[in-house]
Structure 1
Amino acid sequence: MHWRIKGLLQKTLGVLPGGDTLHYRMQRRFGGMRNPRREIGLKLDDWEGMVKQLRDAGLEIPGARLMEIGSGWYPTLPLACHLVGAARVHTVDLNRLLKPDLMRLCIEVLGEQLPRLAAVCQVDPAEVEARYARLRDASARSDDPAVISDGVIEYRAPADAADSGLPDGSIDAIFSNSVLEHVPPDAIDRIHRAALTLLRPGGWAFHSVNCGDHYAYADPKVHQLHYLRFTERQWAFWNNAFLYQNRLRAHQFVDAARAAGFEIVHDTSHARPQRLAQLKAMTVAPEFARFTPEQLCITTVDFIGKKPLP
C-alpha cells in the first residue's frame, strides 16, 4: 500500500466514531497483523534479546519485580516473564488495546517455546511447564491477565506510565518494546523521571526503540529514513492517532534518559552503511541539519539505564 494512502486512511479513522475498531479490523485483514503468529514470534525474539542484555547488566528475570510500558494488543513479554518466574509484572497502556483472542493465540505460541524460555533464563523446565499448564487452563475461563497468571501480571489501561501509583522503589526493572518512538518528547521525559522514582536503587530501565519511518513497513518504495524529508509542519499532516511518530533520533532517546538521571550502561546504536547511502541520496528537512549523518541514520537502538546507588 502506498504510504500516503495508509496515512490518509489512518488519519480519517482517527477522527471517526468507532474508528479504533475499524482500524483494528483493517490491521487484522490487510495490515501488519494479518499473520499474528509471526508477529508474536518476533516479539518473543525481542524478549529473548532483552533478557540477555539485562542479564549482562546484572538483572535476572526470575524473581524480579517488573513494569512494562505499552502493553499493546497481546502481552507477549509479560507472559514470558511470568512463565520463567518473575515475581510481579505490571503492564500499563494509555488505551485499553488488549484483545482476548490475540492473548490466547500468544499463550498458544508460548506453549510451543517452553524449552526455549527455560533455556534463556536458565531455569528448571518443569517449573516453566507447570506455570504454563495453569496459565493455559485459566485462560479458557478468563480474559484477565491477573487471573490467568496467578496474580503475577497486573494489566492497567487506560493508565499513564508516568503516574502509575506504584510505591517508590518497588520495581527492579522497567522496560518497553517499540513504544518510545510513538510517545511525545515531553512525555518521554516524564516517563524517565517517574521510572527513577519507581525503581529501587541500582534498578534498570530497558528500552528497545524502532526509530525509523514505520510507513516503510507498508510501502516498499520508501525506506526507514523517508520521513526525515519533511518539515515539522508537513509531518504534522501525516502523523495520526494510530501511527504517531515523534521522529526523534536514537541518541536523543538515550540522552533523555541520561538527562533524567540514569547511568547509561548499554547502548547498541550504530549507523549501518545501507542507511548512510540512503541518506546521501536524499535531502533532509532543516530541522535535522544539526545532526551528524551517523545520528540521522540510526533507526534502531536498545539501551539500558541504571538508577544510581545512593
Structure 2
Amino acid sequence: ICCGATGRHSASTRCAWTHGHRCKAARRITGNSAGRRATHLTTMAQLLEKPKPQRRQSTQDRFTELGQKDPVDQCEFFLKSFIFALGDQWQDVPRLCTEFQKHAKNTGDSSQNMNHIQAADFLQKHGKTRTGIQRKHEVEDVDINSDGRISFIEYLILHYKAMILGEYYKRHEKEPLEDLSLDGVGITEVGAKLLEELFSMPAGLSPQLEEALETFAAEKKARQKKVDELTAKAEAGGVKGMAARQELRILESGDETETNKLELTLAAAKRKAQKTSGAEAVKNLKEEKEKAAKADADARRAKMKARAAMFDKGGAVAPKA
C-alpha cells in the first residue's frame, strides 16, 4: 500500500518501486544508506591503501650532513670510527684539524673547508706525496657531493684512505682489490667503501671512551672559540686590542699543556676500552672455541678409553656352544 494512500510514512521504499515516486521518509532512508555505503567504501580504501615508506637517509646524505658540521665535530666522528685502527697515531687527527682550519683561513675565505687547490696543497704539505695529476684526481674523488669544496671529513678519508680500505677488507674478510702498499696513491672510485667503513662503528667502543671523545671535542671547540674572539679583538687595535693580544699569548702558551692533559685523559680511556675492543673480542671468541673443541675431543677420548677398559676386563663375549 502506498504511504500516500494511508497518510503514514512507510519505513520502506516499496511505494517508490510500485508507484514511481518516493515519500520523504523513503528518500531520507535511501540517502542515509547511500551515505553509509560511501563512508564504508572510503574507510575500506583507507585501510587497503599501503602506507608510503619513509625515505631512508643514504650514506651519501649522512656524509654530506656530517661535512656541514664544525670541523671539530667531524674530527670527533672520525676518531670514534677509527680510534682503534689509528693506534697511537690518533693524536695526529686533532692536530690535523687545527692545521686544516688555519690553512683554510690563511689561504682562502673560510676556516671550515677548502677548494680543491687548497686541499691538494695541504695534502702535499702533510707528507702525502703525489704527482699533480694524482692529487687533482684524488681530491676530486673525495668531493662526494661535488660542490667544489673539501670539508675536513672529506680530507680525512683522503689522508687515511689506505688505512680505511684496509679496515674495510678486514671487516669483510676479503683480500684487497687495490694495491694498498703505496699509501693509497692513485686509488680512486672507492668512495662507497670509504663511506661504508666510516659509518661502521668498531666493536668495543665503550660509553666511557665515547664520552671522553665528546669531552675532548667540546673543550677543543670552546678553546677555539675563545681564540677566534681574542684574535678579532686584537685585530681591531686600540687598548682593548693590546689586552686581547696579551691574553691570546697566554692562552696559546698554555694550549699545548691543556691539549696534552686532554690527550692523556683520552688515551687512558682508549687503553681501557681496547681491552674489550673488536680485535680482543675476536681473539677471546677464538680461544673459547678452541677450548670447547679440546674439551670435546678429551671427552671422546675418555669415553673410548672407558669402553676399551670394560672390554679388557670381561671382556669379550664368549661364542655360543
Structure having the higher helix fraction is 2
Q: Answer with 1 or 2: which has the greater Rg.
A: 2
* TM-score computed with the length of structure 1 as normaliser: 0.24
* TM-score computed with the length of structure 2 as normaliser: 0.23
For CA contacts below 8 A with separation 6 or more, give which structure has more relative contact order.
1
Structure having the higher strand fraction is 1
